[in-house]
Amino acid sequence: QSVLTQPPSVSAAPGQMVTISCSGSASNIGYSSVSWYQQVPGAAPQLLIYDDYKRPTAIPGRFSASKSGTSATLDISGLQTGDEADYFCGTWDDSLNSWVFGGGTRVTVL
């Protein structure tokens, strides 16, 4: 059971938008910034979003994120087949003195 809760899967047609939620508590999402990671099959994860909503320079603007209270969301707009991957949220939990990940969400492009 992960400390952060994500839906196991989401899907949409090419060009559509998907939203992935990440729910936590006051000691983790409510305390620290959230980051998101994309893992395509067979590859190492890569940083998609950091500091709740910032994108590394190589990440396209189709990926956006936000945070409110103890929940965070990742939006992927203009869905492409190359976006099929697992997506993980993560943050620091100051009560546990540990990093916590969500269980991951599989994105499927229909």
Partner 1 sequence: EVQLVESGGGLVKPGGSLRLSCETSGFIFSDYSMIWVRQAPGKGLEWVSSISSKSGYIYYGESLEGRFTISRDNSKKSVYLQINNLRVEDTAVYYCVRDARPGFLEWYRLFSFDYWGQGTLVTVPS
CB of 66 vs partner 1, minimal distance in Å:
16
User: Whole-number minimum distance, CB 108 to partner 1, in Å?
Assistant: 16
For partner 1, give the closer residue by CB, 75 or 94.
94
Q: How far is the CB of 43 from partner 1 (least distance, A)?
A: 9
Task: State the residues that interact with partner 1 by CB under 8 A.
Answer: 2, 32-33, 35, 37, 39, 44-47, 50-51, 56, 86, 88, 90, 92, 94, 96-104
Burial class (CB in 10 A: 0-12, 13-18, 19+), 37: buried
- Cβ closest to partner 1, residue 48 vs residue 79: 48
CA 2 to CA 67: how far, in whole Å? 19
**Cα distance between residue 105 and residue 93, in whole Å:** 20
Query: Shortest Cβ distance from residue 98 to partner 1 (Å)?
Result: 6
Q: 71 or 105: whose CB is closer to partner 1?
A: 105
Strands 85-93 and 46-49: unpaired
Nearer to partner 1, 12 or 47 (CB): 47
* DSSP 3-state of 82: helix
Strand 85-93, strand 105-109: pairing: antiparallel
